[in-house]
Structure 1
Amino acid sequence: MTTGSAIELRRTTDSDAVWSTLIDIYVEVRADRLHRSHYSVERFGERLARHAAEPGWEAVIGFDRSVPIGFVYATTLQTDASWWRRMTPPLPEFRTRIPTVALKEGMLRTPWRGKGLARRGHEVFLAGRPEQQATLLVNPLAGNGKVKALYESWGYETISEQQPALDGPVLTAMLRAVRVR
């Protein structure tokens, strides 16, 4: 394992070229949950395929030498996207009219956590996006609330909640400006 400065971040819009890398990282990071239907590899593959077909799909993958260590991927939200319609409570209409990138999935393999790499990958990813705001969903129970607190430290604010899958958890919806001053 090397220091954070030796990590290479690669941007891609070709989901087919990185499919197996994303799946492999997912399997390792979610190993303790793969037995649950919502977290199964098959369901992740279905979500990945659906997301990769959406406008503006893009990923940033981190590599330590040639070893993939984590990724973030996102899509551009349309103003009529189900993402907005599922919010409870609903958001004011002006909020859904602002060009928005939705971070759909992000994860980092355990040996590389706690080194600032997740934030670095996140910020590099957002720096290359044309949208004005970024949104994501987080399980408020993940890491006993630590994951949500991490996103808050990156400038995200809670705006609503939603449950995208009937067999999945209720998630907190968060939002921030793409470029934080």
Structure 2
Amino acid sequence: MDTTSVDAPGAAPLRLRPPRNPVDARAVRWWALRGLCSAGLVTVVLGVVAWLWEPGRPWLAAPLVLAALWTVVRVVVEPRWRFAVHRWETTDQAVYALTGWLVREWRVAPLSRVQTVDAVRGPLEQLLGLATLRVTTASSSGAINVVGLDKDVAAEVAERLTLVTERTPGDAT
């Protein structure tokens, strides 16, 4: 058995390979803002508590330093690393996605298994003109999310995948 291909019924074999397209460069700012909103908030809260509660300062010093270092990692390192790793691609046979920064996940979904295709835009994504392409399949692993796409690219790809999926034989289960 050839372990390098995934065969969809009635379609040419899919070759497992890395996806070709990088995400939009604005995704770096999006990931940095998300890191600032989460890790940065913890750092600020610890800093305010340490400033206001003098007897607690000795116990809060180490957590505050660790939170500040984690904030730097989330705001400076993670976004650039994700941009270097995240890739995506769609063909008439499948959706390919490579994601992660600590744990990398490579997913391939044959279009015969696709149930829904959505372009999702959270508040920060709207602010930056970005979107997430969400491809839901019959897989127990959940949807494939391609984050950090230009909003127009995500809408165009969602529309194209919807049309291709309608023409693809299979019951998406």
Same fold (TM over 0.5): no
TM range (shorter): under 0.3
TM-score between both structures, scaled by the size of structure 2: 0.27
TM-score, scaled relative to structure 1: 0.27
